[in-house]
Each structure stands twice: as C-alpha cells, then as structure tokens.
Amino acid sequence: MDLKRYYPVVVLILVVILIQILTSLFGITFYLTQLTMSAYYSLLTIGLCMLMGYAGQISLGQAGFFAIGGYTTAFLTTVNLIDKAEAPVLSLFKSLGIMVLREDLYGNKILHLSPWVAFLFAVIITIFIAFLIGVPVLKLKGHYLAMATLGFGIIVYRVVLGTRAFGEADGITRVPGFNLLPGIRVSGDFANRVENYYIAWVLVIIGAILLINLVNSRAGRALRYLHGSEEAASTMGVNVSRYKLNVFVLSAIYASVAGVFLTHFNAGIGPSEASVMKSVRYVAIVAAGGMANLWGTLIMAVTLNFLSLRGVFGTYDDAVFAVILIVIMLFAPRGLIRKGVISEIEFAFKKLKPGGIIKVKRES
C-alpha cells in the first residue's frame, strides 16, 4: 500500500500538537476554544468535500444535518424526565444504566438520557433522514439538486425555529457535558480546554483518515468516476444511485457528529446553526479548498472558521464568505490550495482585460 498518502496526516498531527504547545508557552490558550470549534466545523466540511468535491453532488443543506445532530442530543440530554421516572420504559433504561440523574445550577434534579445514547440516537436519526430525502433528491441534478437540498435546509431551519420543544429563537441551552470515557469529557469548561482541543482534533484526524482510505479505494474510485460520467460508471458496474446515496449519508453523518460534539462543547445550540448561510459557508470552504481536495478543504475550513470565530471579519462575516465564493468560482474554480494556482489567476486576469487572451479553459 502506498503510505505516502498518510504523510499529510502525520504533518497534521504534529501541527496540532505544536499549536497546543505554543499556545501554552505564550499563555494564549484561549485560542484553543476557537480552534476546537473550528475543528468540529472542519469535520463537517471534509464530509461535504467527499460529497461535493469527489462525488460531484452539491448540498446546500449540510447545516440541516449538523442541526439534526446537535438538536437531537441537546433535546435528549436536557429534557427532564423526572416526573415520568416511574414509567416502565424509563425504569428499564435506568436499569440498563443509560439514564443520567444530575442537578442543575439551582439544585433541581434532572433525569435524562445519557449523552452516549443521545449521540447514537442522533446518528441513527440522521442516517434515517438522510436516506429518506437522499433517495429522491439524488435523482436530481444541477440546479434541481441545489434547490432541493437548499429546501431541505430551510425546512430544518424553520422547524427548529418554530418548535417550542427546540426553544424556538433561543435554541436549547444548558446542555451538559458528554463523558466520552471516564475522565474524558466534551464540555466547554475552562479546565477541559486542552483536553477538548485534542478530542476535537482526534475526531477530525480519524475522519480524515477514513476519507483518505475511501478516496483511494475501489468505492472512492467509483465515486470520483460518477462525477466524471454517470453513464460510463454505471455501464462499468457501478450502482450509481446507491453510491450517491451512500456518500450523501456519510457526509450527513460527519455533519451530525460534528453537531453533536460542538453542541456539548458549547453547552447549547441555536437556530442559526441550521441557517442557509451556514450551509453556503460550508460550500464556500469546499470550493476555496479546491473541491476534490481533502487537505485544501481542511486548511481552508480551519483558517476561515477560526478567523470568523475570532470576529476578524466583524459584521462583514457573511459578505466575506460570499465574496470568497464568487471570486473563487470566477478566477480559480479548481480552488486555491494546489500547485500552479498563481499563474492560473494571472491568466484569468489577463483574460478579463479587453483584447486579452480569449481561450476556453477546460472545466474540471
């Protein structure tokens, strides 16, 4: 097997560790909070990269899956079941040890499902929904696919915004931490900052390794192939609709897992996480990263999300992402992170000038 493909992973691991050490040395560990959040958004983005970049299926509803994961876990770990504690189902759950009894800030007793169960439930529900909408949606192409996924995203947004159980405009707050293993806890407490930074990045690294494996396998080849020509892929024995569905579900799982973890880390989730703008932002990042480019996408995802979370773009946050989309698609449709990009941008600029070279460039 070609081990070269894992070199970037090693670099990534070293960079992650280096950054943590540097932030401790300079006493700027508060950066780790945003880096942790960026990591979770990056997890979603590399899943989308697989779907959009490699398999060529656009999704403008990725934030919807993020929200499904986040809201499911938030709801299940905050809804208080103490009044119904004697119900047979709950007694069964209690004896299985999948219920948690805790006290909130005011000393009220709260009984709810354990985060692990909520997590599993969130993933299952995501898979279910992704299948349900994926089957018809993925028959569509181009504008239709874009609009259908956008429509799905808006539905999720409207539902979480309009449903009382999901806190309407306020979202769900006071979501407890998630004890992954004894002593390892996903939460936003200051004490757990370094630990959470590593949890998030381990998750991203696992996610990335799985995708690298996938891209370079028989299944990944089929995915890339159907991007080029669905007809050719199918006559070579690729079950095109199933492959598209699988990668759609896979990217939904990435989004949902990111949603679950970030919700526990932030101790809550609000409807803005489901907004169309979020979905567009993820698409912008994949585009800027070079579409079928896992590492480009990852670099872009971390950089842009980090800058955005630090508030560098100020009130121009959304505008920045819109400009990125437009500029990349106009001048560098194959993304920024790759070889020969500078000369290509120069070329594109020359083309714009009157009397410049008018040569049709090959579309990828």
Partner 1 sequence: MNRPYIRTPVLLEVKNLNKSFGGVHAVNNVSFTLNSGIIKAIIGPNGAGKTTLFNIISGILKANSGRVSFKGEDITGLNPHEIAERGIVRTFQNIKLAGHMSVLDNVMIGRHSKTRAGFFAAALSLPWTIKEEARTKEVCMEIMEMFSLTDLANEEVSNLPFGKQRAVEFARALAADPELLLLDEPASGLNIYETEELAEVIERIKNKGITILLVEHDMSLVMDISDEILVLNFGKEVASGLPEKVQKNPEVINIYLGEG
Partner 2 sequence: MSFEQVLQYIFSGITVGSIYAVVAIGFNIIYNSTGIINFAQGEFVMMGGIIAHSFTPTMPLFLAVVLAVVITTAVGSLIELVFIRSLKNPSVLRMIIITIGLSILIREIALHIWDEKIRALPFFTGSEVTSITIFGAHISPQVLWVLGITALIVVALQFFFYFTFTGQAMRACAANRKAASLCGINTRKMVNLSFCLSAAIGAVAGCTVSPLTQTHYAMGTPLAIKGFTVAILGGLGNSTAAVLAGLLLGLLESFSISLLPMAYKDVIAISILLLILFFRPGGLFQSRQIVALKSF
Binding-site ranges for partner 2 (CB under 8 A): 56, 58, 60, 133, 136-137, 139-144, 146-148, 150-152, 154-155, 158-159, 161-163, 276-277, 280, 283-284, 287, 315-316, 318-319, 321-326, 329-330, 333, 351-352, 360-361, 363
Q: What are the φ and ψ backbone dihedral angles of 363, each rounded to 5 degrees?
A: -85, 135
188 versus 335: smaller Cβ distance to partner 1? 335
Pick between residue 31 and residue 75 the one whose CB is nearest to partner 2: 75
CB of 301 to partner 2, least distance (A): 17
b vs e for 102-116, b when ≥16 Cβ sit within 10 Å of the residue's Cβ? eeeeeeeebbbbbbe
CA distance 61 to 291: 17
Give the helix/strand (H/E) hosting 180. Answer: strand 178-181
Min separation Cβ 138 and partner 2, Å: 11
Residues engaged in binding partner 1 (CB under 8 A): 1, 210-211, 213-214, 217-222, 224-225, 227-229, 231-240, 246-247, 250, 292, 362, 364
Count of H-run helices and E-run strands, the chain: 14, 6
25 binds, among partner 1, partner 2, none (CB under 5 to 8 A by kind): none
Contacts of 108 (CB under 8 A, 6+ apart): 80
Select from partner 1, partner 2, none the partner in contact with residue 239, using the beta carbon and a kind-dependent cut-off of 5 to 8 Å: partner 1
Tell me which of partner 1, partner 2, none is bound by residue 210, counting a contact when its beta carbon lies within the kind-specific cut-off of 5 to 8 angstroms: partner 1
Inter-residue contact 223 to 233 (CB < 8 Å): no
**Amino acid at site 304:** L
Question: Strands 99-103 and 109-113, how do they pair?
Answer: antiparallel
* H/E run at residue 363: none
Shortest separation between residue 172's beta carbon and partner 2, angstroms: 17
Of partner 1, partner 2, none, which one does residue 22 interact with (CB within 5 to 8 Å by kind)? none
Residue 151 touches which member of partner 2, partner 1, none, C-beta under 5-8 Å by kind: partner 2
Nearer to partner 1, 179 or 241 (CB): 241
